[in-house]
Structures are given as structure tokens and as C-alpha cells.
Amino acid sequence: MKPILLIALMTVALSAQAKLPAPPPMDDAAKAKAEEAKAKAAHAAKVDGFKLCKSMDAAVANYVKTAGAKATKPSDKAPACVDPGPFTGAPAAAPAAAPAKKS
């Protein structure tokens, strides 16, 4: 009974897989929107990294303060936290130059 059920489930699963059609080509507005979303995601990653860096600095400062004499000096080799600033938008692509008209 179990092998028959297993074969039936595999047949249904394999027949249910269909190849999806290719997505239609993106127009300029959709490309711009995708670039904007990509830029926002990259900026959000930078902001998250900055917040993580600041929280690690706070944790180290707290450890040094509470550990007293047994605390080791924090390393100066670690890079400083860099604030990415507010999101300014995706860099605009240069518009295509119009062909020169011949007179």
C-alpha cells in the first residue's frame, strides 16, 4: 500500500511542475524602480552595519567599564563606525545623447 501511495504522490508532484514562461522585458520605468529598490536595499544594509558597529562599541565600553583591572585594552586596529547618512536616492543614469541633426 505504501509503495503505491508513494508512486502516486511522486507522479502528481512531477506532473505539477511546469515551466514558467519568461518574464516580459522591463520598460524604462520598471528598470528605474528596480534600481531605486536596489539602492534602498544597499543603503539599508549600510545603516544596519552602522547600528551593529555602534552597539559593538557600546558593548566593549561597558565591558571595559565593568571588568575593571582585568579588562584588556580594546584594539585600535578596528575601523571607526561610519554613518552612511540619509538615503539620497539612486544615482540617476545619464540620459542618452540625442543624435545631432544635419542641416
Question: Mean pLDDT, 10 residues at a time, over the chain (103 residues)?
Answer: 81 69 88 94 96 93 83 77 86 52 56
Contact 46, 85 (CB under 8 A): no
- What's residue 94's pLDDT? 46
All three cell numbers of 92: 540617476
d(Cα 57, Cα 63) in Å, to the nearest integer? 10
pTM (two decimals): 0.59
DSSP state of 43: H
Cβ neighbours of residue 64 closer than 8 Å, sequence gap 6 or more: 71, 74
**Of 35, 31, 30, 29, nearest to 90 (Cα)?**
35
